[in-house]
Structure 1
Amino acid sequence: MPFARAIDAEIHYEDSGGEGPVLLLGHEFLMDRTMFASQQAALTPEFRLVTWDARGHGDTRDEGLPFTYWTCARDALSVLDQLGVERAVLGGISQGGFIALRTALLAPERVSALVLVSAEAHEPTATELDNARRFLDKWQDDASRPALADHLAHSLIGEDKWYRSVWVRHWLDRDPHGTEIAAGALLSRDSVLDRLAEITCPTLVIHPTRSGVPRSHARTLADRIPTARYLELDGGHRTVNMTHPAAVNSAIQDFLRDHITPRPLSSPRVRTGEVPIPRKTPH
């Protein structure tokens, strides 16, 4: 398995290869790179898709110490360094979007465009913090964890029973302590609202209306980035890239063709219903 070496971690990634523009995608909290199976099927080989596991997730090896999303932003750059890639499109789902934003602020010269799904630039609200603390307290109880995992799956994924069952099994196999550490990064994230005007690269903001991210937060994210394009996906949950892949893939493909590479004359657009959902089990 390929790894990029950070100061205190080995960051696992998968690389589709190819000569197309590089799209580096980061996953949602408690998930891993396998959540992008549909994007890999639809967007390659036109684009070189690189997916990676954040600290505390997937096959990345770290020391189990607290970290921040700024640390993860440097990890993303380590992956690009390992691949010898100077500039790439960065994107992600929720947590992955939080990291991509910070990477663009940390090293704007390395980021050619951003794709942000179910993301925001705000710090956690007081309600989010209170709910998370109660959730994490119960998560430590072996008897309560299965019901909590099912509730979490419904919130993040929606009605897709196959994906829900796969990720519930995955979460129940995780070390509860590791979940606590990973949650620390999510809940201690800082606001970057005042720095959004620094981002000048083309940006696509996709807001699923049932993602749990307030619409006002998503609109603010798009409005404060000077070059942002905003798209709402009605009825989509947080992980809309898995459950509604055709709509997400089409939006990403059109955006990248408009801003990163000319649209090939012989390459058709991805339309709803044309791309099957690859059922790839998470690691």
Structure 2
Amino acid sequence: MPFARAIDAEIHYEDSGGGGPVLLLGHEFLMDRTMFASQIAALTPEFRLVSWDARGHGRTRDEGLPFTYWTCARDALTVLDHLGVERAVVGGISQGGIIALRTALLAPERVTALVLLTTEAHEPLPAELSNARRFLDKWYEDGPRPALAEHLARWLIGDDDWYRAVWVKRWLTRDPNATEVAAGAMLGRDAVLDRLSEIACPTLIVHPTHSGVPLAHARELAARLPDARYLEIEGARQTVNMTHPVAVNNAIRQFLREPAVSRVTSRPRTGEIPLRREP
């Protein structure tokens, strides 16, 4: 089982392999790397997809201590270091996209482009904080947890019975402490709106019309990033890569084939200096 070792965690990842440009993908809150199965099936072997489990999720091993999404951004770089990948397209959905933005801010020389699904750069709104706290309080009560898990699955995924059953089963066996700590990272995140102008790399933003991330936040993200492409998918849910995989896969494929992106994601020959995008 592949792990990249951070100072205080072992980060689990899956690597499709191949010689194409690397796309590193981070998952939604309370989910894991397996949510990208459709992207891996559709985009390889043209591209090399690496999906990874954040702290408190999937098979990643950590000490159960509080963390921030800046810590997770360093974990993403740890995965690239472990694989010997100098530069990559970095992306993700919701939580994973929030981490990807911070990865680009921490190490712009490592990030050739961004793929952001259902992502925002804002801090939590008061309504998000209060709704999440009520949900977590009920989650720890005896009795209603299966119904809450089903409600969460329908909100995230929609009407796909198979997907909902898979994730409900996983959530009901989660470590409650891991859920609480992971929620702390989501609900304690800082805003990076004022730093978006620092991110010069090409960016693809795909946003569903039905999600917990307001459309206004996604559109502002696109407006503030210097080199962004924006796609809104009507009727899609929070997990847009699962509810509308064909549209998402086509958008990612087209983006990664753009000359502005493919030029800087091409693997350099031995002895060559990797191309760098000038700010």
Can you give the 5+ residue segments of structure 2 that lack an aligned partner in the other structure?
264-279
* Contact 1:27–1:33, Cα closer than 8 Å, also in 2: yes
Structure 2 residue 163 is the aligned partner of structure 1 residue 163: yes
Q: Distance in 2 between matches of 1:71 and 1:14?
A: 20
Q: CA shift at 1:244, angstroms?
A: 1.1
Structure 2 residue 62 is the aligned partner of structure 1 residue 62: yes
Structure 2 residue 262 is the aligned partner of structure 1 residue 261: yes
Secondary structure in 2 aligned to 1:112? strand
Q: CA shift at 1:261, angstroms?
A: 2.6
Query: What is the match of residue 276 of structure 1?
Result: none
* Contact 1:89–1:114, Cα closer than 8 Å, also in 2: yes
Q: Distance in 1 between matches of 2:211 and 2:92?
A: 14
Query: What is the match of residue 268 of structure 2?
Result: none
Q: Structure 1 length normalisation: TM-score? A: 0.91
Alignment of 1:100-249 (within 5 A): 100-249=100-249
Query: What is the match of residue 278 of structure 1?
Result: none
Secondary structure in 2 aligned to 1:260? helix
**Which AA in structure 2 matches 1:190?**
D
Secondary structure in 2 aligned to 1:246? helix
Deviation per CA, 1:219-253, whole angstroms, max 9, x where unpaired? 00000001000000000001111121100000000
Q: CA shift at 1:161, angstroms?
A: 1.1
Q: CA shift at 1:213, angstroms?
A: 1.0
Can you give the 5+ residue segments of structure 1 that lack an aligned partner in the other structure?
263-283
* Contact 2:27–2:93, Cα closer than 8 Å, also in 1: yes
Q: CA shift at 1:41, angstroms?
A: 0.3
Secondary structure in 1 aligned to 2:207? strand
Query: What is the match of residue 272 of structure 2?
Result: none
Q: Distance in 1 between matches of 2:245 and 2:234?
A: 14
Q: Distance in 2 between matches of 1:146 and 1:175?
A: 15
Deviation per CA, 1:155-202, whole angstroms, max 9, x where unpaired? 111111110111001100111121111100000000000000000000
**Which AA in structure 2 matches 1:207?**
H
**Which AA in structure 2 matches 1:234?**
E
**Which AA in structure 2 matches 1:242?**
M
Deviation per CA, 1:84-140, whole angstroms, max 9, x where unpaired? 001000000100000000000010000000000000000000010001111111111
* Contact 1:56–1:181, Cα closer than 8 Å, also in 2: yes
* Contact 1:6–1:78, Cα closer than 8 Å, also in 2: yes
Q: Distance in 2 between matches of 1:177 and 1:12?
A: 19
Structure 2 residue 78 is the aligned partner of structure 1 residue 78: yes
Query: What is the match of residue 26 of structure 2?
Result: 26
Deviates further, 25-34 or 146-155: 146-155
Q: Distance in 1 between matches of 2:168 and 2:127?
A: 24
Alignment size in residue pairs: 262
Alignment of 1:82-93 (within 5 A): 82-93=82-93
Q: CA shift at 1:141, angstroms?
A: 1.4
Q: CA shift at 1:147, angstroms?
A: 1.0
Q: Structure 2 length normalisation: TM-score? A: 0.93
**Which AA in structure 2 matches 1:117?**
L
Q: CA shift at 1:22, angstroms?
A: 0.2
Q: Distance in 1 between matches of 2:2 and 2:199?
A: 30
Secondary structure in 1 aligned to 2:55? coil
Q: CA shift at 1:260, angstroms?
A: 2.7
Secondary structure in 1 aligned to 2:247? helix
* Contact 1:21–1:260, Cα closer than 8 Å, also in 2: no
Secondary structure in 2 aligned to 1:237? coil
Q: Distance in 2 between matches of 1:249 and 1:260?
A: 16
* Contact 2:42–2:249, Cα closer than 8 Å, also in 1: yes
Percent of counterpart pairs with the same letter?
A: 77
Alignment of 1:33-44 (within 5 A): 33-44=33-44
Query: What is the match of residue 50 of structure 1?
Result: 50
Q: CA shift at 1:52, angstroms?
A: 0.2
Query: CA RMSD of the aligned region, Å?
Result: 0.8
Secondary structure in 1 aligned to 2:213? coil
